[in-house]
Amino acid sequence: MTEQHLPRVITFTGPKEGVGKTSVVMNAALAWANYQKRNVLIIPLDPTCGADQAAFLGIKNPPSISEIIKSAGRESVSSLGALLKGRIPISQWGVGVLPLTNKRSDVAKMAPDLILPIFSKLSQNFDIFIDVDSYFPMQVFAFDISDNVFWITTPNVANINATTQMFREINNLHFSTSKFDIVVNFLIFPAR
């Protein structure tokens, strides 16, 4: 594989909801798939995001990782990634959506050691873009497995302060801040 085609795992997150993170994920995935000529798989870790992303891409009822694990059984997890090839709907633009779960109640059942083998297999066929909200239980897991993290924020005081606080916490963990790129979203819609 050439350097241009090495599989990538990229996480998109931010200090709070409403900073445009999911929009940035969608646009980046579409541009990346076109530029790299490699399919991109968006994996929303928060169950509230997946349906919107799938609808935007024209994908109806994508399966979730938790549904696939339930149907195949936990003992088959290591082979699931290979079994998923061809079963994940991909849009005409080369972007698919595979939510972690479709229900918040299923999130607690999705431990990192359960989904890591699936992500590993999926990354052989896709570049993976993870969409995760701040303070979501899987955020640190996403940081761990990512090659790069895009931190999306807006230029208002509350979000800049929240970003500063989060980076203090990230610095206290084992993460190098060189893994993070901050994206300031200046496209703010007026309040209605």
Give the range with max mean pLDDT: 34-43, 59-68, 102-111: 34-43
Distances in whole angstroms, Cα of residue 80 to Cα of each of 41, 61, 140, 171: 15, 19, 23, 34
Mean pLDDT computed over 155-174: 88
The pLDDT tens digits of the residues spanning 62-107 come to 888 888 777 777 666 666 655 666 778 899 999 999 988 887 777 7
Q: What angle do CA 95, 9, 138 make, to 5 degrees?
A: 100
| Cα 176–Cα 177–Cα 180 angle in degrees, nearest 5 | 120
pTM here?
Answer: 0.87
Return the residue matching tokens 């060189």: 178
169 pLDDT band (50/70/90 cuts)?
confident
Q: Domains, the chain, ranges and CATH?
A: 3-184 (3.40.50.300)
Closest residue by Cα to residue 116 from 55, 47, 43, 38? 43
How many helices (DSSP H) and strands (DSSP E) are in the chain? 7, 6
Q: Say whether pLDDT at 125 is over 70.
A: yes
